[in-house]
Structure 1
Amino acid sequence: MPEDDERRFDEDPAEERDDDELEEDDDDLDEDDLDGDDRDEITVEIRGLSLYTHHGVTPAEREIGQRLIVDLRMAVADCDATVTDRVEDTIDYGEVCQLVALVAQQRSYKTLERLCAAVADRVVSDYGAEEVWVKCTKPEPPIPLSVEEVSVELWRAGDNS
Structure 2
Amino acid sequence: MTESDEPFDDDDLDDDDDFDVEEDIERTAVTVEVTGLSLYTHHGVTGAEREIGQRLIFDLRFDAGPCDATVTDRVEDTVDYGRVCEVVALMAQRRSYRTLEALCTAVADRLLAEFETTEVWVKASKPEPPIALPVESVSVEVWRTGRSD
Q: TM range, normalised to the smaller chain?
A: 0.7 to 0.9
Equivalent residue number for residue 54 of structure 1: 42
Q: In structure 2, which of residues 86, 96, 102 is the aligned counterpart of residue 114 of structure 1?
A: 102
Contact persistence 2:108–2:144 (CA under 8 A): yes
Q: For the residues of structure 1 that align with 2:10 and 2:143, how far apart are their CA atoms?
A: 44
5+ residue gaps in structure 2?
1-6
Note the C-alpha offset of 1:82: 0.6
- Judged with a 3 Å threshold, the aligned counterparts in structure 2 of structure 1 residues 82 and 150 are, in CA distance, closer, same or farther, namely same
Query: Could you say what secondary structure the match of 1:101 adopts?
Result: helix
Q: For the residues of structure 2 that align with 1:81 and 1:25, how far apart are their CA atoms?
A: 14
TM-score for both structures, normalised by structure 1: 0.82
Equivalent residue number for residue 20 of structure 1: 11
Q: For the residues of structure 1 that align with 2:27 and 2:13, how far apart are their CA atoms?
A: 25
Contact persistence 1:74–1:131 (CA under 8 A): yes
Q: For the residues of structure 1 that align with 2:106 and 2:15, how far apart are their CA atoms?
A: 40
Note the C-alpha offset of 1:110: 0.2
After superposition, the C-alpha distances for 1:51-101 in whole angstroms (9 at most, x for unaligned) are 000000000000000000000100114421111111111110000000000
Q: For the residues of structure 1 that align with 2:37 and 2:122, how far apart are their CA atoms?
A: 11
Q: In structure 2, which of residues 86, 91, 112 is the aligned counterpart of residue 124 of structure 1?
A: 112
The ranges of structure 1 where at least 4 consecutive aligned residues each deviate by more than 6 angstroms after the TM superposition are none
Q: For the residues of structure 1 that align with 2:15 and 2:95, how far apart are their CA atoms?
A: 45
Q: For the residues of structure 2 that align with 1:19 and 1:146, how far apart are their CA atoms?
A: 54
Q: In structure 2, which of residues 84, 88, 91 is the aligned counterpart of residue 103 of structure 1?
A: 91
Q: In structure 1, which of residues 93, 111, 114 is the aligned counterpart of residue 81 of structure 2?
A: 93
Identity of counterpart residues, as a percentage? 64
Note the C-alpha offset of 1:129: 1.3
Equivalent residue number for residue 58 of structure 2: 70
Note the C-alpha offset of 1:34: 3.7
Q: Which has the higher helix share?
A: 1
Q: Which amino acid aligns with 2:49?
A: E
TM-score for both structures, normalised by structure 2: 0.88
